[in-house]
Amino acid sequence: MRIDVLSIFPELFEAPLQVSLLGKAIEQGILTVSVTDPREFTSDRHRTVDDAPFGGGAGMVMKCEPLFAAVESLSDRNSLRRVILLSPRGQPLTQRVVRELAAEPDLVLICGRYEGVDERVSQALCTDEISVGDYVLSGGELPALIVIEAVSRMLPGVIGDWESVETDSFYDGILGPPQYTRPPVFRDLAAPQVLRDGNHAAIRRWRRKEALRITRERRPDLLGACGEDDRALLKEIEQEEAGPEKEVES
């Protein structure tokens, strides 16, 4: 997969793209990430990429000419099928969106700065706007790295054991289960016995049930699409939390 990034601060990508799984994916040729500076496509000696907004107001707005020219320069190596502006106005980045993007052969990520980007970039250049949360950052570089990291995990060969991806939060719509490792008891806190008994069917059931329990407590909005088996486990959880007396009454 190829990801082209447009940023006026390309140095922000240097270290993150060299370490851990991202670094290995790039080294192995599974993922290619290239950063282009829109300043290279300006025509004035100051390499200006921003200007005052029409109508007045605080701050500056990124100009459309350098961004259009920078994206169009990628056409010899990128299909430009998905040109994405990282923006707080965009659709939320969810695991469903991540999996959709990971199925593409290439992406273009545009990192805004200042008070935003000329609206014509969104109207005529971009196919998508994506937000990484309901908050505002100084630029789109960190959101772009989040997109790259999340998408890379979906590429075959990046994660050594695919089961670790399948148990991630949101992979199948709910939060992930609790995880434990040695020692079995730490400061009077014990890891669940079921995880230490070696019964893989019981472990799978426990993990799914606890994942549903955590999702019910923290993100009940994610439970709408649960299947019949999950609904049965949720019923067990409700009965356990109600206590023996209320369980008998029901």
- Residues catalogued as catalytic: 88, 115, 153, 168
- Residue 124 has, within 13 A of its CA and on its CB side, a CA count of 9
Cβ-based neighbours of 118, under 8 Å, separated by 6 or more: 61, 62, 63, 64, 67
- Going by the DSSP 8-state scheme, the letter that residue 172 receives in this structure is T
Structure tokens at 134: 């309901």
Taking the CA of residue 43 as centre, how many other CA atoms within 13 Å lie in the half-sphere pointing to its CB? 5
Tell me the residue ranges of DSSP E strands in 14-112. 32-36, 50-51, 61-62, 83-92, 106-111
Residue corresponding to tokens 């070696």: 198
129: part of which helix (H) or strand (E)?
A: strand 128-131
153-191 b/e with 16+ CB inside 10 Å = b? bbeeebbeeeeeeebebbbebbbbbeeeeeeeeeeeeeb
